[in-house]
Structure 1
Amino acid sequence: MTELTNRSSSSQVADEERDIRVEDYLDDKLQNSTDLANIDALLEDVKAQQVLLQKQLQEAKGTLDESTEASRTHSNDTCERAKKYKSQQADIDRRLFIITRSETSDDAVRKFDASMESLRKLDVAQGYMELLIEVEKLSSEARRNFKKSPQAALQPYLRLQTLVNALREAQPAAEDAAPHLVDHVDRNARTLWKQMKDAFSSDFEATLRKMQWPGKDVTLDGSLEQEWNDGVKKLLELQEPELKARDNQDFEKASREEQLVLLPLEVMAKPLELRFKYHFEGDRPTNRLDKPEYFLSHVVGLLNTYDEFFAIYLQPILRDHFRISNLALTSIYIDSTSAFITSLLPMLRHKIFTLLPRIFHQPQLLSHLVHEIMSFDISMRDEWNYDGGNAVEGWKGLTWEVLVKKDWFGRWLEVEKNFALSRYQNIIDSPESGEIDYDSVNSGATKPTYAAVRVNDLLETITDRYRPLTSFSQKLRFLIDIQITIFDRLHSRLHDSLEAYLTITSSIARTVQGVSRESQAELRGLGGLERLCRVFGSAEYLEKKMRDWSDDIFFLELWDELQDRARRSTGEEPCWTYEHRRCSRADIECCRLRGRHRRSL
């Protein structure tokens, strides 16, 4: 009864509100008598609005019904899935209990995880066994084919080597989990590789004997040339996995290792190495400690003799082979001359590294050997365009290997310093060192002493001796430890001479040291003037010579590198201001192009 009363009250309130809105609407539309004429149009407008509202109401009801039905369906589906999930969870728990015979679900999960770990280990073991079976199959196939035709054994070997490289690459990600497996596969591959290399090399050596290699006039006819080409290609194909592994290394790691020698050239270098040992490792007159230029010039002679042969017959094979292999190799593999140089370097290294300990206590021989090696390196770089596989920085050279890798720089620097200081002392101790050299400069310039001229020649000689070095730190140590040391000694000598003159000619000298008036008068006369001219002329001469160093590209590069290192260490831009008192036109243009020159007036 109360509900009916409330509904009746709500209906009355709604009717009253509707009447009020109708009344307001009519008051707004019918404000005067003229609006009565438009009552028909007003009624039509009201009917149209009513129809539109009825249509919108029907659409809203339909949308509401669809949403209600979709919500009901979704709710039913969710309930069904929840029931199914609970049923499946109960089934899983039941199975876990049955399988693991556990009383609690946590205990069952732990036992189940242990079982899964065992299965995983079983899968890994199965994978190991499959890999070992494949390795054994490839090895057997290669050996079986190898007995019939060495060429037919290449394909299984290449596949085996590919497995080795893949295992090595996967080891870091696997945290070195299978070192024994990798070692076993690698050992099989290396054993097979050695057998194939020996066989291919033996066949290739037979071909070389037919060619009468290493004769000076080596020529190839049609059939012999084809046999030689086949032998080269087989060895290149055998070495290709090794070259690919080196090609995939990062640049820094590859630069620390010695460059690979192509197998065909390794075989062809063997008779050359025997000839080299015959001449330079026995009792022959050519094997002399004081003549390292003999064996270095011998290697240059080999290049001059056989470079044309390799350019004609080997270069086309290298070009075609490495173009197909699609390896990003350096010039020491794709250029026949560079490849030939690389094959000759091992015997040179062996000779030099064997020779060094024998001359450790013989400074002259050590100095001579190092400078001959420097000349050889320059010849390889400039005359033969050998970059050692580093097209950016160039070949560091055998000098770098001796001084840096074998750590002989300290001993060599000590030898050179002792030579330089000994030569400096001989210059100073010579009877005519303090005399003026009137012919060393033009007539309009002050005259230096013989000592100043010879010391400058010594400094320039020292520069020429360490100019070929490629290491900045080594150049800087030569400059500081030797040249600046000599400068300091000569400067101290000139300064002491000037101080002695000033002391003797002072009034205190007559009183304290007992210098007579006649001696002072003589020192203040022509004798003293000549003494001052020696000091002044020597100092000015050396100052002018040192200014000339600023025009030398060698010292400009030293300065440039020093400023670069200072900038990298401090994080600041260096001041690239060359304030020369005088500059050659070439130096000004060079510095201007580099944006680093400001000539001071």
Structure 2
Amino acid sequence: MDYINAHFVSLGDLDDVDDHITRLNDRLAQIQNIIKEKTSGVPDSVPESTSRLLEQLEASDPTQLRELVSEHGTEGVKERLQKLWDEKSSIETSQEALVSGAELEKSLDNASALGLDDLKVYADRVAEIDQFDIKELLEAKLLQVILQRKETLVPKLDGLLSEIKWLSPKEQVSVPSSTMKEITGTLAELVDLQAISDTPHYPDVWWALEILVKPFVVRFNYHFSQASETNRMSRPEWALNYVEKFFADYIPSIELVLGDTFLKHGRIGVFEVITAALVPVREKISGMTQSLNSHIEKANEEDDLVALEKYGRVLSHLIFEMASFDQRLRNNYKYNPHVESFESAPERKWLGLTGDTFMGSSSKDSPVVTNWLNLELQLAKKRFDSDIIGAADAFSIDYEFDASSANPHNVLKPSYSAYALVKLFDNLTTHFKTLSIVKYQLKYVSNIQLTFLDEYLKALENTFKAFNESLSSKLIANFLPGTTKPDTTTTTPVVVNNGLKGLEMLTGIYCSLKFVIQHMEQWSGELLFVQLWNFYKTIATNKVKDDSIFSSSLDEYNAMLKRVFSKYEEFFKKEIRAALKQFVNSGVWVIDDESHKNQPSPQLSNFITIVPAYMSFLRRALPEADYFLVTSKVCDSFARIFQEYVVTNNQFNANGVEQLKTDFDCLVSHLSGPLLLNSEHPLFTNLSNRNYKKVLQSLEMLSTLDVSTAKTLRGNAVDPSHIRERFENRLDCLTDREINDLLFRIV
């Protein structure tokens, strides 16, 4: 190879190839003479096989020589021989390449006489040459021939198209069939010519199609690439709509001209036309993004928030319109310029003009991406802060939500902020949904949408903290008689109003959490987010255990929902204790006056006013199932407090038991509807609530056993099981200890 590089600099040196071959043969003869001289002094005792080896060396028969050297030669001889043969083989290969190259160059010098098929054959022969220098020279020569022929065909096609006023929007020209045939033939010839050595790949275009769409490009640049009323940065959709109208109006005509020109090259003609027409559009968008990036950078440097928002909105609008345009091309024309064969699927999908803009020509993201994501976040956060969590009624419940539903009692009423957050989230989804570039879709979701879900949860946490502080600041009264004086300064309406404020705050938090949870669960099942999550799992470095992109947020929201729900029980415990305070402290249950008439105690008025008012609010705010869950907790609290502070904290004679039953029946009559202590609904009822039944069974036992029976049972230390036998329900909600305790309450 060193010999070739030293003596053959250009194809012109091939003229002296015979002289070089002669000199090489002379050199080979010298080598053979040296071998002969070295072996001439071999004694007669040298074996006959060695003599044959020397003879074969002189005869240079490759096959026999290798056999003899392999059998008798030393390692040194083998290495020297192999080196000589390698050098000879290299020289012969180079000689063949030079001869073939000279022949091809001579043929290409007479290219005017060659047809396209001949050029294609010569191109294939050039591709087969493995001598880089020679191949490079021939490829340059071939390209020169192709470009020369292009210079002839391009003006010809351009002239023919001008003659028929091609793509003229206002001209209707009758085109002779001969002219159309000539146009089609010239276009096909130009396509075939380019395919010989330079088949274009997106975003590059075919020479013929550059000429074919030139009238459109001129008009497009006139309207959208120079100072004019139509060229407005804030209205990129005007340019994109112009392109779409061109496709709709002229693609059928263009298809007639193209015919099956591109079929032989494995391409789809319409796709190639669209690629050609997108060139000026891409240039315009590139200019717009560069200008916007400059304005945004300047606004950041000068801390000009007004300008930053202005140009940020323009950039977001541009990307939205561009992504929508990309999607319409995919939907309307099934456009994918990466289709390069009918035998196999394209290796990748088209990322759109948006992808061209975001990624540019390098592997790094364009500044457009960073600016877009930052500004989308800033604009959305401004709305989030002011219109969602910053609103005065942020966590107030929207009672009119879905009021027209067939089953409004089953509809979860959201807070105004929760509803606004979901609307913001869905609106943001439309901003990136049409991108069709998973990488940037994931960035958008993680950097913006999930951020707002986290921020909203923090706002709920702060509101919940304020509720807890308010709840904790109210001391729970001591209900033992004589230890606390009734608070007569606070009227029942004030108590109800204050309690409702706290309950509204708690329920607003609860409904906000549950409404967002429901929508996160819904989003988790949407195809877009399923695809994003599946893609993320394929690129994640660690094993992903979550089921969806929202799993982490759902876990946090559900954890808080449980904490919030538990506060209902704490809230009602406090409110029920306060409402029963006077009743507990003033109750007298050993009544000796036989003329006493059992009437509901007036001290129950607070309770039968306050609790139903709270439950009325909850019934309006919560879906039926959630309301039932809360009533179950309220029923627990009411029954436990009544059992603890009244039943098991006093002694009763017969009159006292009757008064107790009268009071409890009064409470139940007012609570049966609010606390679902009835059988009106087959699914949601608290009649089987164990704590409620415990009070009923306690009253039944107190009223069934008279004082003498109780004394006898106490004195004989009767096993509670014998007492249970006296009752049909066997006092199944009372423990043995509780039964024994009740025996001592009867006096």
TM-score (norm 1): 0.66
Alpha carbons of structure 1 residues 388 and 113: separation in structure 2 relative to 1, 3 Å:
closer
Question: d(CA) in 1 for partners of 2:95 and 2:373?
Answer: 62
More helix by share: 1
**Corresponding residue for residue 292 of structure 1:** 236
Question: Is structure 2 residue 148 aligned with structure 1 residue 195?
Answer: yes
The equivalences for 1:276-291 within 5 A come to: 276-291=220-235
Give, as a single letter, the amino acid of the residue that structure 1 aligns with 2:519: K
Give, as a single letter, the amino acid of the residue that structure 1 aligns with 2:505: R
Alpha carbons of structure 1 residues 86 and 225: separation in structure 2 relative to 1, 3 Å:
same
Match of 2:55 among 60, 83, 91: 91
Which consecutive residues of structure 1, in runs of 5 or more, have no partner in the other structure? 1-81, 97-103, 146-151, 171-177, 247-256, 511-515, 581-601
Range with bigger deviation, 188-197 or 521-530: 521-530
Give, as a single letter, the amino acid of the residue that structure 2 aligns with 1:374: A
**Corresponding residue for residue 419 of structure 1:** 379
The equivalences for 1:299-318 within 5 A come to: 299-318=243-262
| 1:190-243 deviation per Cα after TM superposition (whole angstroms, max 9, x unaligned) | 222211112111111111111111213465322111211221221122123247
| 1:424-461 deviation per Cα after TM superposition (whole angstroms, max 9, x unaligned) | 11213334434443322335345333222212110110
The answer to whether the 8 Å contact 1:449/1:537 transfers is yes
| 1:158-199 deviation per Cα after TM superposition (whole angstroms, max 9, x unaligned) | 2332234334xx4xxxxxxx4332322222122222111121
| 1:563-583 deviation per Cα after TM superposition (whole angstroms, max 9, x unaligned) | 5567x975x99989x999xxx
Question: Is structure 2 residue 526 aligned with structure 1 residue 552?
Answer: yes
Question: Is structure 2 residue 332 aligned with structure 1 residue 372?
Answer: no
The equivalences for 1:286-365 within 5 A come to: 286-319=230-263, 322=264, 327=265, 329=266, 333-334=267-268, 336-360=269-293, 361=296, 362-365=311-314
The equivalences for 1:227-246 within 5 A come to: 227-242=182-197
In structure 1, the residue corresponding to 2:108 is in which secondary structure?
A: helix
The answer to whether the 8 Å contact 2:190/2:208 transfers is yes
Q: What's the CA shift for 1:381? A: 0.5
Question: d(CA) in 1 for partners of 2:224 and 2:499?
Answer: 66
**Corresponding residue for residue 271 of structure 1:** 215
Question: d(CA) in 1 for partners of 2:336 and 2:59?
Answer: 71
| 1:40-99 deviation per Cα after TM superposition (whole angstroms, max 9, x unaligned) | xxxxxxxxxxxxxxxxxxxxxxxxxxxxxxxxxxxxxxxxxx997455235357889xxx
Give, as a single letter, the amino acid of the residue that structure 2 aligns with 1:471: I
The answer to whether the 8 Å contact 1:311/1:337 transfers is yes
Give RMSD over aligned pairs: 3.7
**Corresponding residue for residue 221 of structure 1:** 176
In structure 1, the residue corresponding to 2:414 is in which secondary structure?
A: coil
Question: d(CA) in 2 for partners of 1:479 and 1:113?
Answer: 66
Q: What's the CA shift for 1:562? A: 4.3
**Corresponding residue for residue 467 of structure 2:** 501
| 1:453-480 deviation per Cα after TM superposition (whole angstroms, max 9, x unaligned) | 2121101101111112323332222222
TM-score (norm 2): 0.54
Question: d(CA) in 2 for partners of 1:352 and 1:223?
Answer: 40
The answer to whether the 8 Å contact 2:329/2:335 transfers is yes
The answer to whether the 8 Å contact 2:397/2:508 transfers is yes
Question: Is structure 2 residue 144 aligned with structure 1 residue 183?
Answer: no
Match of 2:358 among 366, 391, 403: 403
The equivalences for 1:241-256 within 5 A come to: 241-242=196-197
Question: Is structure 2 residue 446 aligned with structure 1 residue 477?
Answer: no
Q: What's the CA shift for 1:558? A: 2.9
The answer to whether the 8 Å contact 1:498/1:535 transfers is yes
Q: What's the CA shift for 1:379? A: 0.7
Question: Is structure 2 residue 452 aligned with structure 1 residue 486?
Answer: yes
Q: What's the CA shift for 1:107? A: 8.2
Alpha carbons of structure 1 residues 507 and 188: separation in structure 2 relative to 1, 3 Å:
same
Alpha carbons of structure 1 residues 542 and 218: separation in structure 2 relative to 1, 3 Å:
farther
Question: d(CA) in 1 for partners of 2:139 and 2:115?
Answer: 17
| 1:237-268 deviation per Cα after TM superposition (whole angstroms, max 9, x unaligned) | 2123247x78xxxxxxxxxx525533322221
**Corresponding residue for residue 164 of structure 2:** 211
Question: d(CA) in 1 for partners of 2:187 and 2:234?
Answer: 39
Question: d(CA) in 2 for partners of 1:141 and 1:86?
Answer: 56
**Corresponding residue for residue 38 of structure 1:** none
Alpha carbons of structure 1 residues 527 and 131: separation in structure 2 relative to 1, 3 Å:
same
Question: d(CA) in 1 for partners of 2:74 and 2:462?
Answer: 98
Question: d(CA) in 2 for partners of 1:318 and 1:365?
Answer: 39
Question: Is structure 2 residue 500 aligned with structure 1 residue 538?
Answer: no
In structure 1, the residue corresponding to 2:259 is in which secondary structure?
A: helix
Alpha carbons of structure 1 residues 351 and 87: separation in structure 2 relative to 1, 3 Å:
same
Q: What's the CA shift for 1:156? A: 4.5
Alpha carbons of structure 1 residues 379 and 87: separation in structure 2 relative to 1, 3 Å:
same
Question: d(CA) in 1 for partners of 2:81 and 2:393?
Answer: 101
The answer to whether the 8 Å contact 1:138/1:156 transfers is no
Q: What's the CA shift for 1:370? A: 0.9
The equivalences for 1:561-580 within 5 A come to: 561-562=535-536
Alpha carbons of structure 1 residues 112 and 466: separation in structure 2 relative to 1, 3 Å:
closer
The answer to whether the 8 Å contact 2:202/2:337 transfers is no
The answer to whether the 8 Å contact 1:505/1:523 transfers is no
**Corresponding residue for residue 571 of structure 2:** none
Give, as a single letter, the amino acid of the residue that structure 2 aligns with 1:201: V
Question: d(CA) in 2 for partners of 1:95 and 1:385?
Answer: 70
Alpha carbons of structure 1 residues 563 and 218: separation in structure 2 relative to 1, 3 Å:
farther
Question: d(CA) in 1 for partners of 2:80 and 2:446?
Answer: 74
Question: d(CA) in 2 for partners of 1:377 and 1:309?
Answer: 23
Which consecutive residues of structure 2, in runs of 5 or more, have no partner in the other structure? 1-45, 61-72, 297-310, 340-344, 477-486, 555-747
Q: What's the CA shift for 1:341? A: 0.8
Alpha carbons of structure 1 residues 157 and 491: separation in structure 2 relative to 1, 3 Å:
same
Alpha carbons of structure 1 residues 164 and 219: separation in structure 2 relative to 1, 3 Å:
farther
Alpha carbons of structure 1 residues 452 and 126: separation in structure 2 relative to 1, 3 Å:
same
The answer to whether the 8 Å contact 2:168/2:215 transfers is no
Range with bigger deviation, 389-398 or 341-350: 389-398
